[in-house]
Amino acid sequence: MTIPETAVYPRTGDRQTVYLKNVITDPGITVGDYTMYNDFVNDPTSFEKNNVLYHYPINRDRLVIGKFCSIACGARFLFNSANHALGSLSTYPFPLFYEEWGLDRRDVASSWDHKGDIVVGNDVWIGYEAVILAGVTIGDGAVIGARAVVTRDVAPYTIVGGMPARPIRRRFSEETIAALLGLRWWDWPREDIARSISAIQAGDVDALRARLAR
């Protein structure tokens, strides 16, 4: 039985795992096909509320997640309003309380530093209760360790862990990484991906190249 791409729950009888794209309503969040989120604590369909934090329209910041990502329970994305203005002599957000201090309401966003969007590539695995901070870009094929706090960009096919997260190792050789980034199998038609699953799981890059050449 084929589960349609529009399905919320990709596994029969499993209400802890969702195709994330199909539960997103916030226009500031974009998720690619087949990316899944698992939550055994909270309702996974409440991802926007429980996992995307400090994400307010005033900042116009975006969360972009690619295709075929695996996001574990409790992973969180902390956006710009979680910051405080470190260039100020005080970290207290005076502009946020403009009524109290007679400030201009239009300057509310100067309460915090703006780091930018969060961008997650394709085929990324984000571990249990990992935290991704505003302004971070995670490359294709990267792995974020459980409870890691990611404060800076992560290169493709790199495993990171710790607090703050540091590179542990590359998943593959430079040659293999370059080949995978060139092949971009996640953008192939569904039928071609289905026929290539055995090669993907076996780590057979040559077989993927052969498939692309057909």
> What's 87's DSSP letter?
T
Give the contacts of 114 (CB within 8 A, at least 6 positions apart).
Answer: 59, 61, 80, 83, 134
Rounded to an integer, what distance in angstroms lies between the CA atom of residue 132 and that of residue 148? 8
Bridge-partner residues for 73, per DSSP?
none
Q: At what angle do helices 174-183 and 205-213 cross, to 10 degrees?
A: 30
Q: Are 140 and 123 in contact (CB under 8 A)?
A: yes
Q: Are 126 and 144 in contact (CB under 8 A)?
A: yes
Rounded to an integer, what distance in angstroms lies between the CA atom of residue 84 and that of residue 42? 29
Bridge-partner residues for 65, per DSSP?
31, 120
Given the residues 62, 76, 84, 147, select the one marked as catalytic: 84
Q: Are 135 and 115 in contact (CB under 8 A)?
A: yes
114 in active site: no
Could you list the active site residues? 84
